[in-house]
Structure 1
Amino acid sequence: MHLREDERIHIADRLREKASIRTIAAELGRSPSTISREVQRNRTVLHGYNNRWYYRPHAAQRRADARRPRPKTGKIGGNPRLRDYIQDRLERRWSPEQIANQLRRDFPDDLEMHVVHETIYQALYVQGRGVLRRELVRCLRTGRARRKPHRQATSRQKRFAAPMILISERPAEADDRVVPGHWEGDLIVGAAHKSAIGTLVERSTRFTMLVHLPDGHRAEQFQRLLTDTMRPLPPQLRRSLTWDQGNEMAGHAAFALGADMPVYFCDPASPWQRGSNENTNGLLRQYFPKHTDLSRYSRERLDEVAAELNGRPRKTLGWDTPAERMHALLATTRQ
């Protein structure tokens, strides 16, 4: 039986944690040869490094889907029992997401009765997959006869004078945290949006740096202070910076030139594209509560807080601390 996308995500997570192929296979109830073949077949080798590679689960899923013969009957269309179950819940005004989760509760050991909510939407809307009764779309909360397309980032009005480079163009090596030097950044904002602290997290080590903004976060000031923060790092630790489309980054072109570090922008309303930074900002709110004046915190206090966060052991780092990982990288660059 083919690997599912959630299994590929599990493989990617455990590979990052240095689990063995046999351990991963046992956890998934699969043969070790199946897992080994999957990794060999769908991994991506870093350009110029024959022995350096990473495994991206969603890319692996796309490759696997592309290799399968088409056309074929969808999962819902080929399983009358599943189709009837879904149609019954749709008639009772259940959402596709509610149905998908209830299927796993009602049939925990029957994988043929498991689908994700997007599969249900496609069975309703996508031409050629409309295996559910078309009139059931009226039972959805929106009741739309068609899915409303999301506005594409490329169709938005220009936000900055200098063109933005979107995250889709960021090097693939940054996605799986294999190569250090890729950072995520944001602001945590104080009362009435009048004060802020810049937050920076390195993706592979989770190392945190804080940017002191005593005079506010207007674009020109922010660009200068951000450059001063990042420029002292060695080139190997200045590979990229990912930010949201906030006004404080209007000077991104000047920063990229001054720090010799490209900037990539997240898609609108997509905080998960800076997941490490979002998580760190949540931790920082323990020290810098919302709706307070953040300008009253000194440079020394920001350094103390960053040192405390960087000194915490992290499960995702094998219980190393971010500080230990960063010090090891800096020692390597000096050799």
Structure 2
Amino acid sequence: MAQGMSNSAACREVGINRKSGNRRRYGRKVVDRAGNVRVYLPITEVRESDALSERFLSENERIVIASLLRTGYSLRSIARELARAPATISREVRRNRDPRTGKCHPFQAQHRASVRRARSKEGKIRRDPELKEFIQQRLDLRWSPEQICQALRTAFPDELDRHLAHETIYQAVYLPHRGGLERAAGTLRTGRPARRSRRRAAQRATRFIDPGMLISHRLPEVDDRAVAGHWEGDLIVGTANRSTIGTLVDRTTRCVKLLHLPGSHSAENARDALLHAFTDLPAGLAHSLTWDQGSEMSRHDEFTRATGIPVYVCEPASPWQRGSNENTNGLLRQYFPKRTNLSIFSAEGLAFVAAELNSRPRRILGWQTPANLFANLVATLE
């Protein structure tokens, strides 16, 4: 096991039962016929002082699991109680329960988990030179890990130990000291030097949003596009995210306004640009604004106090809730291609682009132009 074998593989190697291996691994107590007790220490040293990530179950959580199981809770109920995935609880019960009785003893389970973490972390790919060479050759040909995993099943149909999950290859690439795979600049399509951590769902909402601002609280008249003056907004970004242009589109007329954001797209600059854009609008054509959850809108309350226009935000990762604006941003890429330095465009240049876009006839408007529709509405309000 010090060489990285699992308990089952080590037991097969030395020719003993897997349960016997478990007893030696975690320590055991033997009582002879005379009633004498002999305690054998575990063969693996456990380092209890290592700091563990929150993604691992703690000893306190294992105590709760054991207690709730005795009470009769289901695995899903326990998962809800601990705010964990049901699969996490199921795996914990399956792997760390007592192998003889099938019951969960929290301190024994904690010990089992600690010993399992403490064993050698050398990866399966490093231990198998032929497997490593097979994977490395295909990585050099720019195959994806998922494609390689499918090829392994074809190349080694009867060798189940060589059938990998693509996550195993990703870990071997990002942790070469464990996996042993070499990674050049174009090995993986992302080209990242390290893995990008994923935020949990509770971390995605920005701190400046309160429940009353969510798009679900928007008036019903906004959804049917019957009333003009409800705007959607966003930013398009230039090369290396260092330059931006703000975009506004009216949901009814599809009239476009572009915000000049020289220097940066900070919350202060975005607020000032929005105030300037809405200053010239008649009150009847400025009812609401819908944006995404970008930090540039963190001063939305100051914009609302100054104009009386409420700001609504979309749910995370839901650009379709601003469909008109997303479509408009796609049209604007004809003028502002990706990986372009957008700071070279002046306010006059942006106004020219907006005017040209608003003068295009649109099928969704019955082949009328946004400029004509918007001008007619302004005339009726005067």
Structure-2-length-normalised TM-score: 0.46
Q: 1:182 aligns with which of 230, 233, 246?
A: 230
Q: Corresponding residue for 2:184?
A: none
Q: Deviation at 1:159? A: 1.5
Separation in 1 of the partners of 2:347 and 2:339? 20
Q: Which has the larger radius of gyration?
A: 2
Q: 1:216 aligns with which of 264, 268, 281?
A: 264
> Compared with structure 1, are the counterparts of its residues 156 and 299 closer, same or farther at alpha carbon in structure 2 (3 Å cutoff)?
same
Alignment map for 1:149-298 (pairs within 5 Å): 159-161=206-208, 163=210, 165-298=213-346
> Compared with structure 1, are the counterparts of its residues 254 and 311 closer, same or farther at alpha carbon in structure 2 (3 Å cutoff)?
same
> Compared with structure 1, are the counterparts of its residues 152 and 168 closer, same or farther at alpha carbon in structure 2 (3 Å cutoff)?
farther
Do residues 310 (structure 1) and 351 (structure 2) align?
no
Unaligned runs of 5+ in 1: 1-150
Separation in 2 of the partners of 1:288 and 1:320? 25
Q: Deviations over 1:30-75 (max 9, x none)?
A: xxxxxxxxxxxxxxxxxxxxxxxxxxxxxxxxxxxxxxxxxxxxxx
Separation in 2 of the partners of 1:152 and 1:317? 41
Unaligned runs of 5+ in 2: 1-198
Alignment map for 1:9-88 (pairs within 5 Å): none
Q: Corresponding residue for 2:114?
A: none
Runs of 4+ in 1 over 6 A off after TM superposition: none
Q: Deviation at 1:309? A: 0.6
Alignment map for 1:97-116 (pairs within 5 Å): none
What secondary structure, in the 3-state scheme, does the structure 2 residue paired with 1:273 have?
helix
What secondary structure, in the 3-state scheme, does the structure 1 residue paired with 2:246 have?
strand
Tell me which amino acid in the other structure corresponds to 2:310. P
Separation in 2 of the partners of 1:233 and 1:156? 36
Separation in 2 of the partners of 1:300 and 1:238? 23
Separation in 2 of the partners of 1:255 and 1:227? 7
The answer to whether the 8 A contact 1:183-1:201 is kept is yes
Separation in 2 of the partners of 1:172 and 1:327? 25
Q: Deviations over 1:300-320 (max 9, x none)?
A: 110111001100001111111
What secondary structure, in the 3-state scheme, does the structure 1 residue paired with 2:336 have?
coil
Tell me which amino acid in the other structure corresponds to 1:171. L
Do residues 332 (structure 1) and 380 (structure 2) align?
yes
Q: How many residues align?
A: 183
Q: Identity of aligned pairs, percent?
A: 57
Separation in 2 of the partners of 1:319 and 1:176? 20
Separation in 1 of the partners of 2:320 and 2:258? 20
Q: Deviations over 1:230-277 (max 9, x none)?
A: 122111111110000011101111111122210000011011100010
Tell me which amino acid in the other structure corresponds to 2:291. W
Tell me which amino acid in the other structure corresponds to 1:163. D
The answer to whether the 8 A contact 1:231-1:258 is kept is no
Separation in 1 of the partners of 2:257 and 2:229? 13
> Compared with structure 1, are the counterparts of its residues 323 and 291 closer, same or farther at alpha carbon in structure 2 (3 Å cutoff)?
same
Separation in 1 of the partners of 2:204 and 2:261? 29
The answer to whether the 8 A contact 1:190-1:196 is kept is yes
> Compared with structure 1, are the counterparts of its residues 152 and 226 closer, same or farther at alpha carbon in structure 2 (3 Å cutoff)?
same
What secondary structure, in the 3-state scheme, does the structure 2 residue paired with 1:216 have?
coil
Separation in 2 of the partners of 1:152 and 1:314? 40
Q: Corresponding residue for 2:6?
A: none
Separation in 1 of the partners of 2:366 and 2:353? 22
Q: Corresponding residue for 1:322?
A: 370
> Compared with structure 1, are the counterparts of its residues 152 and 237 closer, same or farther at alpha carbon in structure 2 (3 Å cutoff)?
farther
> Compared with structure 1, are the counterparts of its residues 272 and 158 closer, same or farther at alpha carbon in structure 2 (3 Å cutoff)?
closer
The answer to whether the 8 A contact 1:207-1:326 is kept is yes
- CA RMSD after TM alignment: 1.8
